[in-house]
Amino acid sequence: MRAWKNWKNLSWMLSVLFALPATLEAGTRLRVAHLSPDAPAVDIWVDGAVALSGVEFGAVSGYLSLAAGTYRVQVTPAGADSPVVIDADITLENGRSYTVAATGSLAAGDLQPAIYADERTVTSESSSVRFIHASPDAPPVDIAAAGGPVLFAGVEFRQGTEYLALDAGTYDLEVRLAGTETVALSVPSVILSPGANSTIFAIGLAGDGSLAALPVIDVDGFFLRGDANRDGELDISDPVAVLFHLFLTQPARFCSDAADVDDDGHLMLSDAIYSLNHLFAGGRQPAPPFPAPGIDATADLLGCEDRMRF
């Protein structure tokens, strides 16, 4: 039952087939975020075909593989082909990674896409964070350590900061009205993991009390060993995902590196058996990174292959 639930949770990423590059360098990586607080669930169209359906406010997709180029992106209410509330051309460059966010207020008529270049390259020791202001009615803000120094100053709506390197750890942050000590939003217990870049989005509306923080990890190679379907945990759905990948069809979200449970650089039936043995027969635990997520310290050709289909 849990496995079926996990597959259903990924269904909003599925559409029709799109030609994928063999490597990141041969194309680009893209994730999509719905950050318009008063807009309903939406469908996202790319070059006239639905790419993502039923995307709700606050949803941020995983990274998806695309060929580099210029695409026409349109947004409509879920299940409908009109009205088109966003209609824009976006250009994606080779070897780059992006977040494309639907921002603004539907009521105010200022919905538009905001495009941010993401940094996904890190070492096992480094950690960095940036802030993106996506609350349409909030004034410019400062982001500071709780009771401490300002990390990002004067961030305006739709603005994204540069990444700031920080020591890995847990941070209590504050979103303050720019140039003041007035705290608009407390953001406790933000975890910055070694080997991961993170983005903190400010979402919602300041006027109705729905202002909130949405932290996400920007590193494609940051994973939990065994978590093949990338739902954040190792369970029965993961060996099922491996079997589907090997013998039936490739899931929309799949991480070969995570599925390589014994970290021998090869994805085989033995990896599914290894996971099942660990889950149900007290067998050895997966190779690192496990039981906490991290990056792969072993050089191999495996990666994570979220797929966007058209």
- Number of domains comprising the chain: 3
Amino acid 293: pLDDT = 78
Both tokens of residue 42? Answer: 């939406």
Residue 299 within any structural domain of the chain: no
Global pTM? 0.69
Amino acid 221: pLDDT = 61
Residue 284 within any structural domain of the chain: yes
Same domain, 165 and 129: yes
Q: Indicate the pLDDT class of residue 185, thresholds 50, 70 and 90.
A: very high
Amino acid 158: pLDDT = 97
Residue whose C-alpha is closest to residue 123's, from 165, 169, 62: 165
* N-to-C CA span, the chain: 29
Residue 60 within any structural domain of the chain: yes
Distance, CA of 42 to CA of 214 (rounded, Å) = 19
Which phi and psi angles does 201 have, rounded to 5°? -90, 135
CATH code at 170? Answer: 2.60.40
Give the end of a domain, one of 120, 137, 158: 120
Residue 249 within any structural domain of the chain: yes
Amino acid letter, 237: S
The pLDDT of 257-261, averaged and rounded, is 92
Q: Which domain holds residue 178?
A: 122-219
Residue 157 within any structural domain of the chain: yes
Residue 75 within any structural domain of the chain: yes
